[in-house]
Structure 1
Amino acid sequence: MDFLGGKPKIAYFSMEIGIDENIPSYSGGLGILAGDTLKSCADLNVPVVGVTLLSQNGYFYQKIDENGNQIELPIDFDVPKFLQKLPSITSVNIEGREVKVQAWLYQYKGIGGYIVPVFFLDTNIDGNLDWDRTLTKYLYGGDNKYRLAQEIVLGIGGVRILKTLGYKTISKYHMNEGHAALGTLEIFNLCNDVEKVRQQCVFTTHTPIAAGHDQFALPLAKSMLGNILPDFIINDVTFENKLNMTRLALFFSHYVNGVAKKHGEVSRIMFPGYSIDSITNGIHSSTWVSESFKKLFNKTIPGWLSDPYLLRSAQSIEKTQIWDAHVQAKQELINFVNTNYNASMNCDDFTIGFARRQTAYKRPDLLISDPKRLMQIAEKKGPIQIIYAGKAHPKDASGKEAIKNIFHVMKTINGKVKITFIQNYDITISKLIIAGVDLWLNTPRRPREASGTSGMKAAHNGVPQFSTLDGWWLEGCIENITGWAIGPEKTEHEESDDKIDSYDLYDKLEKLIMPKFYQDRDNWIRTMRSCIALNASFFNTNRMIQQYVLNAYFM
């Protein structure tokens, strides 16, 4: 098979991989990071294969009614149009029965022509029970039993399908979050040596709060997994009589990392006794840079596509060129919202973007928590436009309520502050918003943001970020140079306070940010340029992958 060329040494496992706009097998940051990771591997000729679930019906297609109620619809994904079905079939054992697993192939070609194969696992096969055939239909769907079955397919099935496909040179298995941790049991099953398993396994954790780690009641886990779960590791991989996927991955990995420096610290506190490093996330530069900035960088920074570090020299780009590239991206966004949402927005007006998963800890409504103050700022300092986007998990009631609140405020103040919510947030919409707004807003309650990457994408397009000091922003924020911090300094308070943060948000917006945008455009563009030179040059997946190669893969 031609995709076996290059003898891959690394297998990269992720529950979701967002590598192509046409393949809806992702829900948010985790999947987009996975896709960007594999793209940079291709650009750098790193011998890797990707393994994920097919998720034939995707996450969901989002519609929002006039009152802000989110409606989830299945996605109709024409799989054979974008993926190649492979003849090889393996199987996993779930509750004592055999469940067949097949793979669909996607090939990503890097900048120099190197190809990284990605395998999408599928249980929708004749001969499987009806319930088993649904396991690769819905991303993050169903109950705990359904989720555990999905993770059996991903972890155990993923290791087995690689063997079935003829891969004999895999020496590292990289688990992007704990969803694939059960693969360690299959590797142990093959060698019966804990240390040999550890030498092969790398684990990246993304979750800074205990509730976010997948865990399953031990009786359920034993009944679903059978004999592949050895008794002698139970004490190490369980917590409160539940099989904890993070602890399982920790137990069997020789290298573990968090996804930002602060997240590494938080993870070491959460899991004492384990050595946990940190490699700060990045984004795939050429994927997320808008067409107007690509043209500018191609002209002024030759070689940036293969070496994003060269973006350091963006400081020498003429300010008028930076602004012209931004206006092109902004006009494209404004045209989109005006055409599709009758938004009546103006390209000259200060535009704030907030687009990500809609959930309580990200505080999507912090900016509009005091509508009266927001309107006063707009009246005194200049027009404000806000563009929202993002999906709430179908079971996240508070996230759905946040969307409804945005729509409520939209109706009460629209006109004085123009607000638009773009539906069905995906890669295409993300590119449009991130490049087209003037300011990127990020308001997570700390310390709950492991890293975050949307602000990195904004920086690649010269858009400064305004964010609480958490995740990557603790490393990327140079006040008034690359953006602005919301709330107290990192040494003052560990937990976020909504009142303190909202006050600081409005205060800086009124006194620092908007005056700079409207009255000191020259300095505003200097900030835009610094975002590219200081943050885009470092916070990219090329740098990130080089760190993994040196620290985790030992290549």
Structure 2
Amino acid sequence: MKAIRRFSVRPVLPEPLRPLSDLARNLRWSWHPETRELFEAVDPEGWQATGGDPVRLLGTVSVPRLAALAADRRFLRRLTAAADDLHDYLTGPRWYQSRACGAAPARELPAAIAYFSPEFGITAALPQYSGGLGILAGDHLKAASDLGVPLIGVGLLYRHGYFRQSLDREGWQQEHYPVLDPHELPLSPLREPDGRPAEVRLALPGGRLLRAHIWQAQVGRVPLLLLDSDVEENEPAERGVTDRLYGGGSEHRLQQEMLLGIGGVRAVRAYCRLTGHAEPEAFHTNEGHAGFLGLERIRELITDGADFDAALAAVRAGTVFTTHTPVAAGIDRFDRELVARHFGDDGELPGIEVERVLALGMETYPGGEPNLFNMAVMGLRLAQRANGVSTLHGRVSREMFAGLWPGFDPEEVPITSVTNGVHAPSWVAPEVLRLGARQVGAARTEDALSVGDPAAGDRDRWDSVAGIPDAEIWELRRSLREQLVVEVRRRLYASWRQRGAGTAELGWVEQVLDPDVLTIGFARRVPSYKRLTLILRDRDRLLELLLHPERPVQLVVAGKAHPADDGGKRLIQELVRFADDPRVRHRIVFLPDYGMGLAQKLYPGCDVWLNNPLRPLEACGTSGMKAALNGCLNLSVLDGWWDEWYEPDFGWAIPTADGSGTDEHRRDDLEAAALYELLAERVAPRFYDRGAQGLPERWIDMVRRTLATLGPKVLAGRMVREYVERLYTPAAHAHRALDLSAARAFAAWKERVREAWPRVAVDHVEAGWSAAVSADPAAEGAAELGATLPLRVRVGLGGLDPGDVEVQVVAGRVGDDDRISDAQRVPLKPTAGPDTDGRWLYEGPLALDRTGPFGYTVRVLPAHRLLAEPAELGLVAEPFADSGEAAGMLMR
């Protein structure tokens, strides 16, 4: 029979062992090998049985074993050392405290930053993630902790997490939703002074109330606040709001995102009030799911006396928005009426007009859906600073959202990029760490992995891998491959047992994979654009690769499809059925239930990491970064981060056939053929090409180059430093500059500019051609390189002052369509005006600094010291084509 209630009965730790509780409750153990080894020593069998979870481990250790440990002087010395190390880590100055960043010391850094994400992948012991977005968020928090950045993480506590995956006999994905008890997780409740759980409340339509308690995880120095709606005071529907990650229908998802954004801000306020933590000066929205946080902050300011426009200006100034998707279908969009029903006097944020809320998310641009509320659009409208997660993704995002800034070319859209990074101490195998420690010293290795700042000298630490002997590198690679083989066999056996196979029919599992065979890994979520089954495109060629008598390859594949994505499930089934074939099942395996635990075995054990998405639909692709830090070589389409940092010295690029004239089936055929050719002609031969010492010297050299060149680039420490210097600090300064009075003035200025803008015009452009035209008769009147073209421009400002605008000449090379590329922008200065018609005269020189077809135009933009980008308001005035002006001119 089933229990009606579940709870844990924990032994009381003897006094000498009390520090174990503190060590278990701070998730730094998840990336600190010495602390994990200490817990393993408590009970090695229990450590394995609990999946390396200290909290669960301490709940199962027998009383006699605890008594023995309390009397074990050697264990107590290790415990004291671990506790002291954690104390030093939490209290000692880090990079942020020393102000050791590129900003001048006078540029005061933010007192605190709030970081909102719908999922966080910190450790498998806290399963609150589905894939790359959550793992990235977890690595962001860990790196912030290592650097001492005063971050506060905010998310939801999902009682069923995402889901556990298994396969049925036919290879079809099965989902399982284990119930998570917060008391059995490394969490503690945030409490009021009288002991009551701290609570946030949201109003729902029909007079309903959504309550949520706040749980806290401690990620090193960084608190992570998780909101939990499964509280007794809620009605059943409200209790289920935080049941599953990315589950339920539209209304369920909307309420989750309202709780994350609006409730999350209220949770941050409660946490700061109860702990004395500094209030955030910058708010970071990791993807659009948390976008409603801006609305709650607007409500706070309106409560303090601001009007909506002033509050919006102040909130935008201190907000950073990161978009992670290059696919419109990957953005949450809600029906307009559904959103309207949840706001206003009968829902949340009473006193704010529903139409003002809706206007922030509606797709009011060409090609937009007029009745859909777009969370990414709201995120961009509520944030003064926005970024993609790789250089290519930044470019894709500017094109994707260009409709929000009409009149501007995509390259001028105010979305920058900060390329993702990964938290090396979490992902680098202990054996790799030990090899690095022997070469450069343990302390220096840990610092380099945590911070990774080439400009600060860490480049030398990574270059030192050149001194590691070939034999040591190759011995390490084989050892890691062998460990992966053992893990694969264990997991494959368990998977087949779940699929219904008996012990007698599974003897073949012991022959699966070979520790001396080139091993390729592929593991990620399974949407169609990631092309899980591209490798199956020509099965005869794949068979040749797998079964080659001299240069065989073996593949380890893992991934989850969303429970509602039958197309993704069919892809998994197709691959599983191929891998079930007795001819190849010793060379290719699919491992279900891909998560952090499997990933930490998979990345180090593979020789090659395969990534073959549809370009440019991979925003970043951080799995390849984690593999690279373990000496695994990348074989990938030039997408995401690989497009940015690929070099032939340390990996391979899969050619793409992404031209507009190529249909998808032919494209996949061409790219699969290119992949097979790379594997057969370049990758496998290099792996098996042995030198005089029996070692693949050229392969080992590529491993070295991977570590030395990519190592400092792919670190989350580098990423977080960029966020601090380029986004958080400017956002904090803008936030400080916009007190209530300044916000009102800035909002009034915006309104005045918008009202006047239809009357702003460039009336006439006059160029002093004689000063630039060559005297050489053979040049036929072309301009001379190095000459200066004087410009005089007459502009109507529609009642605005010259201080409200900037008049620019935009110049550069032009193509056959007269489009300007590689543009330079030169401000012109007012020299006279206004005349009787209210026109102003602007003048300035244009330097002719490049040869070939060259052109220019003139435009007027709003200008204000509090604008982060000239395109921020989406306003621009340009001239009509002047019959006396040529669109382009030839220079030589």
Task: Tell me the TM-score normalized by structure 2.
Answer: 0.59
The aligned counterpart of 1:440 is 609
Residues in 2 aligned to 1:399 and 1:414: alpha-carbon distance in whole angstroms: 25
Moved more, 527-536 or 179-188: 527-536
Matched, 1:335 2:486: yes
1:238 aligns with 2:385: no
Aligned amino acid, residue 140 of structure 1: Y
**In the alignment, structure 1 residue 107 sits paired with structure 2 residue 231:** no
2:657–2:670: 8 Å Cα contact kept in structure 1? Answer: no
Equivalence for 2:29: none
Aligned to 1:412, what secondary structure does the other structure show? coil
Q: 1:306 is matched with which residue?
A: 447
Corresponding residue to 1:393 among 553, 559, 562: 562
Distance 1:79 1:494, change over 3 A: farther
1:59: which partner in 2?
A: 162
Gaps of 5+ in 2: 1-24, 27-89, 92-96, 98-109, 191-196, 303-310, 364-368, 406-412, 453-457, 493-508, 691-695, 733-892
Structure 2 Cα separation of the partners of residues 23 and 214 of structure 1: 25
Q: Tell me if the contact between 1:285 and 1:305 (Cα under 8 Å) persists in the aligned partners.
A: no
Does residue 287 (structure 1) correspond to residue 426 (structure 2)? The answer is yes
Conserved 8 A contact 1:384-1:417: no
Q: State the distance in 2 between where 1:512 and 1:271 align.
A: 40
> Could you list the per-position Cα deviations for residues 31-73 of structure 1 after superposition, in whole angstroms to 9, with x for gaps in the alignment?
0000000000000000001011101111011111232111100
C-alpha distance in 2 between matches for 1:322 and 1:76: 43
Q: 2 CA distance for matches of 1:429 and 1:391?
A: 13
1:160-198 CA-partner distances (Å, limit 9, x unpaired): 111122155211110100000011100011114111101
Worse-superposed segment, 527-536 or 303-312: 303-312
Aligned pairs (5 A) from 1:409-420: 409-412=578-581, 414-415=583-584, 418-420=587-589
Q: 2:252 aligns with which of 127, 141, 146?
A: 146
Out of 544, 549, 570, the position equivalent to 1:376 is: 544
CA RMSD of aligned residues (A): 2.2
Take 1:493 and 1:483, find their aligned partners in 2: how far apart are those partners?
29
AA aligned to 1:204 is T
Percent identity of the aligned residues? 36
C-alpha distance in structure 2 between counterparts of 1:507 and 1:493, whole Å: 23
CA-to-aligned-CA distance 1:73-116 (integer Å, 9 cap, x gap): 0123232122112221111122242211111111012xxxxx11
Q: 1:489 to 1:460 in 2, by over 3 A?
A: farther
Which of 492-501 and 422-431 deviates more? 492-501
Deviations 1:406-431 (A, max 9, x none): 11211336438611111211101001
Specify the alignment match of 2:720 in structure 1: 545
SS state at 1:140 partner: coil
2: CA distance, partners of 1:169 / 1:529: 44
1:318 equivalent in alignment to 2:474: no
SS at 1:379's partner residue? coil
CA contact (8 A) 2:421 2:715 kept: yes
Q: Is the 8 A contact 1:14 1:51 kept in 2?
A: yes
Aligned to 2:283: 173
- Whole-Å separation in 2 of the counterparts to 1:522 and 1:490: 35
Does the 8 Å contact 1:469/1:490 carry over to 2?
no
Is the Cα–Cα contact under 8 Å of residues 447 and 495 in structure 1 kept in the other structure? no
Alpha-carbon distance between aligned partners in 2 of 1:493 and 1:54, rounded to the nearest angstrom: 46
Alpha-carbon distance in 2 for matches of 1:246, 1:439: 35
**Cα distance, 1:381 vs structure 2:** 4.8
Distance 1:436 1:399, change over 3 A: same
The aligned residue for residue 362 of structure 1 is: 530
Instruction: Give the match for residue 252 of structure 1.
Output: 382
Instruction: Name 2:825's counterpart in structure 1.
Output: none
The letter of the residue matching 1:307 is A
Matches within 5 A, 1:86-165: 86=190, 87-95=197-205, 96-109=207-220, 115-165=221-271
1:510 matched to 2:680:
yes
Q: How many Å separate the matches in 1 of 2:324 and 2:183?
A: 32
Query: Match of 2:84?
Result: none
**Which structure carries more relative contact order (alpha carbon 8 Å, separation 6+)?**
1
| Counterpart residue identity of residue 232, structure 1 | R
Aligned partner of 1:112 in structure 2 is none
| Matches of 2:579 and 2:628, distance apart in 1 | 28
Q: Is the 8 A contact 1:337 1:343 kept in 2?
A: no
Cα distance in 1 for residues equivalent to 2:510 and 2:360: 55
CA contact (8 A) 2:433 2:445 kept: no
Note the 1:342-361 alignment, pairs <5 A.
Answer: 342=509, 344=511, 345-361=513-529
CA contact (8 A) 2:339 2:358 kept: no
C-alpha distance in structure 2 between counterparts of 1:327 and 1:291, whole Å: 15
Matched, 1:209 2:348: no
Task: State the alpha-carbon separation in 2 of the partners of residues 343 and 103 from structure 1.
Answer: 47
Shift of 1:359: 2.0
Distance across 1 between alignment mates of 2:727 and 2:134: 20
> 1:210 & 1:164 partners in 2: Cα distance?
35
CA distance in 1, matches of 2:240, 2:652: 46
Moved more, 125-134 or 483-492: 483-492
Contact 2:128 2:161 in 1 (8 A): yes
1:466 CA drift (Å): 0.7
Q: Which moved more, 1:168-177 or 1:281-290?
A: 168-177
Q: Counterparts in 2 of 1:8-47, with a 5 A limit?
A: 9-47=112-150
- Please state how far the C-alpha of 1:368 moved relative to its aligned partner: 2.0
**2:134 partner amino acid:** G
Q: Secondary structure at the match of 2:536?
A: coil
Describe the SS at the equivalent of 1:102.
strand
Could you tell me how far apart the structure 2 residues matched to 1:58 and 1:327 are?
A: 35
For residues 231 and 641 of structure 2, the distance between their equivalents in structure 1, rounded to whole angstroms, comes to 42
1:223 aligns with 341
Kept in 2: contact 1:216–1:243 (CA 8 A): yes
Q: Per-residue CA shift, 1:304-356, capped at 9, x if unaligned? A: 32233332432332222222222222111101122332262210011111111
State TM-score, norm by structure 1: 0.94
Say whether the 8 Å CA contact 1:23–1:77 is kept in structure 2. Answer: no
1:191 match: 301
- Structure 2 CA distance for partners of 1:163 and 1:152, relative to 1, 3 Å: same
Partner deviation per Cα, 1:103-139 (whole Å, 9 max, x = no partner): 1111012xxxxx1110111011121110111111200
1:424 aligns with 2:542: no
Q: Alpha-carbon deviations, 1:451-473, whole Å to 9, x = none?
A: 11000000000000111111111
More divergent stretch after superposition (463-472 vs 333-342): 333-342
Number of the residue aligned with 2:823: none
Secondary structure, aligned partner of 1:333: helix
CA shift for structure 1 position 242: 1.3
How far apart in 2 are the matches of 1:494 and 1:407? Answer: 29
Which residue identity does 1:367 align to in structure 2? I
What is the number of equivalent residue pairs in this alignment?
548
Q: CA deviation at 1:358?
A: 1.7
Q: What CA distance in whole angstroms lies between the structure 2 residues aligned with 1:210 and 1:469?
A: 21
Distance (whole Å) between structure 1 residues aligned to residue 121 and residue 585 of structure 2: 37
CA distance in 2, matches of 1:45, 1:101: 29
Inter-partner Cα distance in structure 1 for 2:152 and 2:210: 23
In the alignment, the residues of structure 2 paired with residue 198 and residue 492 of structure 1 have an alpha-carbon distance, to the nearest angstrom, of 38
- Cα distance in 2 for residues equivalent to 1:531 and 1:447: 23
1:265 maps to what in 2? 395
Distance 1:21 1:493 in 2: 44
The answer to whether the Cα contact below 8 Å between 1:375 and 1:416 also exists between their aligned partners in 2 is no
Query: 2:660 & 2:634 partners in 1: Cα distance?
Result: 21
Moved more, 325-334 or 3-12: 3-12
The runs of 5 or more residues in structure 1 that have no matched partner are: 110-114
